[in-house]
Amino acid sequence: MVAKKEIEEIYSKSVRSGRRTYFFDVRSTRAEDYYLTITESKRDFNEDGTPFYKKHKIYLYKEDFESFQNALAKVSEFIIKEKGSKVISNSKFNKTTSDEKDEGTDSTESSFTEVDLEDLS
């Protein structure tokens, strides 16, 4: 049996946002072409209080970059046009952990890190 090739990290960017971190990782296919994985990692807690991370991944290949970028731009523009850029939160659902308070995170303000997907193509 052939040994599985270890996945090499070619390029990576991360964006932290409260309890979530988004990872943009460039990987290589077996044919040695590049693709992008976008991972959302969210810290949560077990019933006993021990932390764990929920992860969700999207695999995006070069042939889909242009349509993905166009759709993301249009959807982002729609949201900002319809609801503005200010974050709207319902205090009933807005849970702030003590870690977020310590980091100086204000639930009424939001900071964004812009990631240009063209840098990855």
Query: What's the start-to-end Cα distance of the chain, in Å?
Result: 34
Query: Higher-confidence residue: 85 or 100?
Result: 85
Q: Which residues pair with 81 in a beta bridge?
A: none
**36 C-beta neighbours (distance < 10 Å), count:** 20
pTM, 2 dp? 0.63
Element (H, E) at 43: strand 34-45
Architecture of domain 11-111: Roll (3.10)
Q: What percent of the chain has pLDDT over 90?
A: 52
Residue pointed to by tokens 């995170």: 105
Q: Quick check: 27 and 34 in contact, CB under 8 A?
A: yes
Could you report the per-residue pLDDT of 28-46, keeping only the tens digit for each? 999 999 999 999 999 889 9
Element (H, E) at 57: strand 51-61
Q: Which of the four pLDDT bands, split at 50, 70 and 90, describes residue 2?
A: low
Domain ranges of the chain: 11-111
